[in-house]
Each structure stands twice: as structure tokens, then as C-alpha cells.
Amino acid sequence: MPVYKTILILPGEAAVPPFQDAVEPYCLGTAAFEWEGGPNWSLEFYTDGLPPMADMAPRLALAASQAGIAEPDPIMAPLPDIDWVAENQKSFEPIHAGRFFVHQEFFEGPVPAGATPLMVNAGTAFGTGTHATTWGCLMEIDRLAREGFRGRAALDLGCGTAILAMAMRKENLARRVVGSDIDPEAVRVARANARLNGTPAPGLSLAVATGLNHPAIRGSAPYDLIVANILARPLMLLARDISRALRPGGQLILSGLLTEQENMVFGPYRMQGLRLVRRRRRDGWSTLTLARGV
């Protein structure tokens, strides 16, 4: 079955998040691009076969209502029969994020002196360090490591490839790190990456879980450090559960939100008694670090 690429043309960046939220449950991946000279943006998403437009219709209608625009007409076409995962891996260049040097398994060059290597084969899971949200989280983990942060337990909520969970474990930010994702395929990829990087259980455990109500997550709570690199809406919906899982004096790193969504996302956490410690911004995306008072 061919992979289909579908494009939605949207009148501005503010319209992207509701449509991205609408299509993500149905697709292999999404990407958004600003048109040269603006103001339009293109939201692209990829599906196995034709996208299920009948199932997506109510969500797209709701997204249009939230964005205050007319529903865009989808432009779709099949992609050439190419192993896109392999092609993506070929194009992946190693990156630096603080002390971390992120590379694919096939990388044959030297690891820079003093760097902490993270070998990540993304496969069908999200998170290679190239996206601004993953980079922001790695930079905050690097900062905490430089400041001598140490804890009993840490959680990577929405772990994808487990790049952030492995970073926390390699730098000993916590004696035990738990990673979770709603996607079983992501957890399979994460476990393979943990073996490649020499960070298997018991120091790092991974589980398929929705939210925080899972024995593997509850069993290690409360957490000294939680990293949640997901999307703005689930970050807001999970604010109470995430905040309650954080130990007094603990720190929380939130990412997956656009810069203009900072106040909207931070609001529910402020209501739970957390304060903003710092923010990082890159390419229109933000990473927020919050803390709970002792």
C-alpha cells in the first residue's frame, strides 16, 4: 500500500496546531512549513494509503472552527515506492545539544572529546534531537547535569525513541528513569535504542502507557524530574496528574509547544503551584522548565 502525502494550506501559523492535533492520530508523521513571504503555511501529513477523510472530517471541522477559518481542501498524492525510513536515516547528520552528541547507528566518524554520545535509530518513532523541542529538552538536561542535579527517579513522558530518557540515565540525573509512550511501536524502538546505548533495565524501564495511571509510572512516583515533550493540548490536560507526580523541590521540563502557546500551557501548572524557572526558544518552539517549591 503506497504512502500518501496530504497537504493542507492554512492562512497563518496560528492555524497549524489545531489541524496538527486533528490529523496526528491517523498519520505516520506531520510537518509544517511557512511559505516564503508568508502568511500562508502548509501542513503536510503522511498516511498508509489514502487518508481516512470520512473519519477525520469531524476533527478537521472542529480544527477549522477553533482556528476561525473555512475548512481547507486537502491536496493528496501517493509517494514513490521508497523506503522512507532508510532515506531519512541516510540524511540524518549528527547534532550537538550541550554535552550530547546525537548520531545514528551507521555513523562512522569520531565522537567529539568530552561529549556524551546518544545513538538513536528513529525508525518509526519520534525524536532524533534535530527537532527544536527535543533539542530544548536535551539542553535543559545538560544544564541540570552541569548544576549537579541528582534524584531518585525521573520520568520521560511521551518518550518516543527514548533519547531524553537515555540522556537522563547516562548523566545519572536519577537512579531510576522511567520512559512511557502511548505508541507500542515507539516503545519497541525505544527498547532497541536502550540496548544500543547500554542503558537497559533496571536503570531505565520503558512502558506503553496513556497518561500517568500505569503501574510502572505510579510505582516510581513521586519524581524528582519529569520531562514531557508531547503537544500543547495533552500538556494542559495532564497538568494536574503531572504536577501531583512531581516531588516537592522537583523540576519539570515541558516541550512540544509553540512559542505563542507558552502562557496557555503554563497556566494550568501555575494553578498547581509550580513556578517558571526558565524558557528556551528555537525555531518558533518553546521548552519550559518549571519547579515545585519545597
**What mean pLDDT is predicted for residues 161-169?**
94
Give per-residue pLDDT as tens, 263-279: 999 999 999 999 999 99
Residues of the chain with CATH 3.30.70.260: 3-81
Question: At residue 194, what are phi and psi to the nearest 5 degrees?
Answer: -60, -40
Say if residues 62 and 81 touch (Cβ distance below 8 Å).
no
Kindly provide the residue ranges of all beta strands, DSSP E only, lying in the chain, ordered along the sequence.
3-10, 29-34, 41-48, 75-78, 95-97, 100-103, 116-119, 151-157, 174-181, 204-208, 223-229, 246-258, 274-282, 285-292
Residues of the chain with CATH 3.40.50.150: 129-292
- Calpha distance 87→110 (Å, rounded): 22
Task: Give the CA distances from residue 245 to residues 122, 205, 233, 273, in Å, rounded to whole numbers and listed in that order.
Answer: 28, 17, 19, 13
Confidence of residue 109 (pLDDT cuts 50, 70, 90): confident
pLDDT at 84 over 80: no
Give per-residue pLDDT as tens, 227-253: 999 888 899 999 999 999 999 999 999
DSSP code of 165? H
Considering only the top CATH level, what class is 129-292?
Answer: alpha beta
3-81 topology per CATH: Alpha-Beta Plaits (3.30.70)
pTM attached to this predicted model: 0.71
- Calpha distance 204→179 (Å, rounded): 7
